[in-house]
Each structure stands twice: as structure tokens, then as C-alpha cells.
């Protein structure tokens, strides 16, 4: 059994299966979630549920966080009863959320002043990748810290890419979200176009997905768009949070991103109809409405 004690904060749609995979790999895991009942399933695999992020840190050598947004990471790491109240020199904090690169650097600096290493390691692959431990993990931080934690990452994902210093993992994740956003718009437009033309959209996806236009979005989310299966693998409201991070970083860098901005506006229309908790494939509702499809 691996002798690194893992703390895990955030057992939501992604975090719970990721924590389960760490337990299955033999790591001792102490978990915390704001709604404690959502961490309870880990007990069946031998996990321990803690009452606070501070308690998680007290029981751990490496603490992983995967929560919704930048303020949430700041709270569990730096806030009252947070990780920072129980850290010890030599510990490592791995943030696998998608948050502001600028704030990531600030948190890493605060932890480094206390002798604690930090890695920003956001993921791609959705709930399916989290369950099957096939996530793509993009990491920023000191390379020697990445190597120290490699067995942990390998229990949760199949692709680990070192991206550079703290904040660069988050920057690469934002590149991922830019690409996903435009892919979602393209797939939704293709589905609406096929339906309007009287073509079975599933037939269209089978053909297009096998060629140069094929992508994960087309092949995995395309059929869900066609059949209006909007169960979330990744929710619209979280995609919107990520696109806001993209726009903020783009503004700071002076980069124009018209495709990502379009996706953001179309998702705003989904949210306006109460679709924030739907899967991102629900973007097709907007393109169908624009095509006057019922």
C-alpha cells in the first residue's frame, strides 16, 4: 500500500470518483466536502470523512482540492479552519479545480512561505474520465514536486503533462476550455442543420465523427445533442465559470477570443431558460431555436 496519506477536499461529480480511485490504488484517504453526506460513500472503501479542511490537513501528507471556483479554493486553503491552519513543511497541496491562474500563483506563494509545495493540476475528461481514471491532467509547479506526486496522478488519470511553473497548468486548462467551447458550438450547429435538412442527426454524427471533423465533443456529446439527453457530465454553469476565467485572462493578456465569447453568449441563453444545471450539450437547444426547430 502506498505510504503517502492523501487528503481530498471536494467530493462532487468529479471529486468523488477520483477519491474512490485513490482508495482503490491503496492510498489512505481522508476526505471533506461542504455537504458532508456527499463524502460518505468513501467510507465503504475504507476512507475517512473529516469535519473540516483543517482536519484533512492534520491527517495528510498531500492534500488535493477540487471545488467549484476560485473563492472556494481560497476558502478551503487559506480560510478559517482551512488547510493552512494545519500544514507542515514538506507537505504538498494539489489543486485540481479550474480557477484563476493569477490567484493560483498567489496561493502557491503563500504556501511556499510556509515550506509547503503547491501544484495546480486541473483535469479534462469529464465525469466519465474521473470514473474510469482516464483523465488528462495538466500540471503547473516545481517539476520535482510533480515527480514526487506522479503515483497519485497515475491513480486518477492516463495522461500527465507538465506545463511549467505555478499557474501554467491553469493556463493550459483554459486553452482546453477555449477549444471545447468552440467545438460545442460547431457540434450544436451541425445537429440543428442536419435536423432542418431532414437528415437523421445520429447518421450525420456517425459519418462526420469518423472523419477529419471528428472530436470528443462530436462523438460523445453529439449523440446526446441529437436525442436531447441533457444529463450533466459537465454542467453549463461550470462551463460558464470557466469561460469567465478565460475572458478575464484574455483581457489581462490582450488576446481576442471571438469564438469563446460567442459560446459564452449562447450558454447565457441556456442559463436564461433555467438550464445552468444541464450538461453542456444542452447548447443545442439554442441552435435549434435559432433554426425554428421545435
Alpha-carbon distance 234 to 49, whole Å? 25
Q: Are 226 and 148 in contact (CB under 8 A)?
A: no
**Which of 85, 260, 105 has its CA nearest to residue 170?**
105
Chain centroid offset of residue 198 CA? 36
DSSP letter string over 15-69? HHHHHHHHHHTT--EEEE-SSGGGGGGGGGGT-EE-SSHHHHHHT-SEEEE--SS
Whether 289 sits among the annotated catalytic residues: the reply is no
Q: Are 250 and 242 in contact (CB under 8 A)?
A: no
Alpha-carbon distance 260 to 263, whole Å? 5
**Which of 130, 133, 48, 146 has its CA nearest to residue 92?**
146
Q: Which of 173, 195, 224, 285 is catalytic?
A: 173
* Catalytic center residues: 173
Amino acid at each position: 500500500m502506498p505510504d503517502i496519506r492523501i487528503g481530498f477536499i471536494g467530493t462532487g461529480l468529479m471529486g468523488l470518483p477520483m477519491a474512490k480511485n485513490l482508495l482503490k490504488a491503496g492510498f489512505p484517504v481522508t476526505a471533506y466536502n461542504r455537504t458532508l453526506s456527499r463524502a460518505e460513500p468513501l467510507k465503504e472503501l475504507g476512507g475517512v470523512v473529516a469535519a473540516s479542511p483543517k482536519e484533512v490537513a492534520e491527517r495528510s501528507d498531500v492534500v488535493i482540492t477540487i471545488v467549484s471556483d476560485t473563492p472556494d479554493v481560497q476558502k478551503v486553503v487559506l480560510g478559517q479552519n482551512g488547510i493552512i491552519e494545519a500544514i507542515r513543511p514538506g507537505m504538498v497541496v494539489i489543486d485540481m479545480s479550474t480557477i484563476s491562474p493569477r490567484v493560483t500563483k498567489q496561493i502557491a506563494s503563500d504556501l511556499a512561505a510556509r515550506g509547503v509545495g503547491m501544484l495546480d493540476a486541473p483535469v479534462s475528461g469529464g465525469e466519465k474520465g474521473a470514473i474510469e481514471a482516464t483523465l488528462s491532467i495538466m500540471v503547473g509547479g516545481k517539476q520535482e514536486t510533480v515527480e514526487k506526486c506522479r503515483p497519485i496522478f497515475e491513480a486518477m488519470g492516463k495522461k500527465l503533462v507538465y506545463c511549467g511553473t505555478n499557474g501554467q497548468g491553469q493556463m493550459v486548462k483554459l486553452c482546453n476550455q477555449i477549444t471545447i467551447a468552440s467545438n460545442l458550438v460547431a457540434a450544436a450547429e451541425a445537429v440543428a442543420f442536419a435536423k432542418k435538412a431532414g437528415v437523421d442527426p445520429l447518421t450525420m454524427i456517425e459519418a462526420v465523427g469518423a472523419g477529419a471533423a471528428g472530436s470528443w465533443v462530436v462523438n460523445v456529446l453529439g449523440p446526446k445533442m441529437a436525442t436531447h439527453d441533457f444529463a450533466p457530465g459537465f454542467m453549463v454553469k461550470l462551463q460558464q465559470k470557466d469561460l469567465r476565467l478565460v475572458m478575464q485572462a484574455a483581457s489581462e493578456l490582450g488576446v481576442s477570443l471571438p469564438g469563446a465569447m460567442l459560446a459564452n453568449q449562447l450558454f447565457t441563453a441556456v442559463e436564461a431558460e433555467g438550464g445552468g444545471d444541464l450538461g453542456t450539450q444542452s447548447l443545442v437547444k439554442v441552435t435549434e431555436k435559432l433554426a425554428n426547430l421545435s
